[in-house]
Amino acid sequence: MDKLKLGVLISGRGSNLQALIDACADPGYPAEIVLVISNRPDAGGLARTQATDIATRVIEHTNYEDRESFDRDVDAALRDAGAQLICLAGFMRLLSAWFVDQWPDRIVNIHPSLLPAFKGTDSHAQALAAGVKLTGCTVHFVRSEMDAGPIIMQAAVPVLYGDDEDSLAARVLTAEHQCYPRAVRLIAEGRITVEDSRATITDNLEAGPPLYNPPAD
Ligand code: GAR
């Protein structure tokens, strides 16, 4: 079977990109990365493709007068590379409605909270301020509103006594690295259907154990 061709968009250190690179290194994984684009020339994540043959482009948003002309060049680069699914991996720019319309249910994002809670850039601070006992991460299809769209997969992560933003972010990040490749696999295997604002995993019939925090005795 043909592998699903991924275009990955980054702005920073690219640890989720690394998780996808590692997953794609398995010959049995049903997707491959055809292009990585960074909107920042100094993104640490750019170095992650060096030991691979993955094509990499820097398209600096600061060189563009408006959001849509930047998005048009990103769109053209992804199409030239043959991308079929766009994975936002710490891509810290809002995509225009025009761009999102070009790729219906073909853009996914990972966000470090259990959406729809704690949207935005300070999810862990919001979780700590709210005193939730479980937070986590979400992989979702992208809509033009920030951190919104049909949810594909989530992982719940405990908040512990004494946590600060860094310790919580690190615990959630470990879950992100497991979630993102799994969610992309579900899409590549054709197991997700999207209707309006809801994504369904059609064969998801087996419940894992509930996660208690504090742990149940
Ligand atoms: C990740 O925690 C990702 O969930 C978050 O940025 C970080 C990027 O890390 N994304 C968002 O907050 C999007 N709203 P990475 O560059 O190491 O993958």
CATH number, domain of 34, equals 3.40.50.170
Query: Ligand 1: which of 8, 18, 91, 110 to mutate, most ligand atoms within 8 Å of CB?
Result: 110
How far from chain centre, in Å, is Cα 174?
13
Query: What pTM value is reported for the model?
Result: 0.97
Which atom of ligand 1 is found nearest the CA of 16? Answer: 18
Which structure tokens are listed for 136? 């986590």
Q: Where are the beta strands (DSSP E) in 125-181?
A: 134-141, 151-158
The residue nearest atom 5 of ligand 1, judged by CA position, is 90
Output the pLDDT for position 198.
97
Contacts 24+ apart (CB under 8 A), 131-137: 132/159, 133/158, 133/159, 133/213, 133/214, 134/158, 134/159, 134/211, 134/213, 135/159, 135/168, 135/172, 136/172, 136/175, 137/110, 137/111, 137/112, 137/113, 137/172, 137/175, 137/176, 137/179
Residue 215 Cα, ligand 1 centroid: separation in angstroms? Answer: 28
Q: The domain containing residue 40 runs over which residues?
A: 1-103
Last residue of a domain, one of 83, 103, 123: 103
* Residue 131 resides in a domain: yes
* pLDDT bracket for residue 196 (50, 70, 90): confident
87 lies in the same domain as 24: yes
Q: What residues are in contact with ligand 1 under a 6 Å CB criterion? A: 10, 12-16, 45, 89-90, 110-112, 121, 147, 173, 176
* pLDDT bracket for residue 147 (50, 70, 90): very high
Output the pLDDT for position 213.
97
Last residue of a domain, one of 81, 103, 125: 103
Which structure tokens are listed for 193? 């259907």
| Mean pLDDT computed over 35-51 | 96
The number of distinct structural domains making up the chain is 2
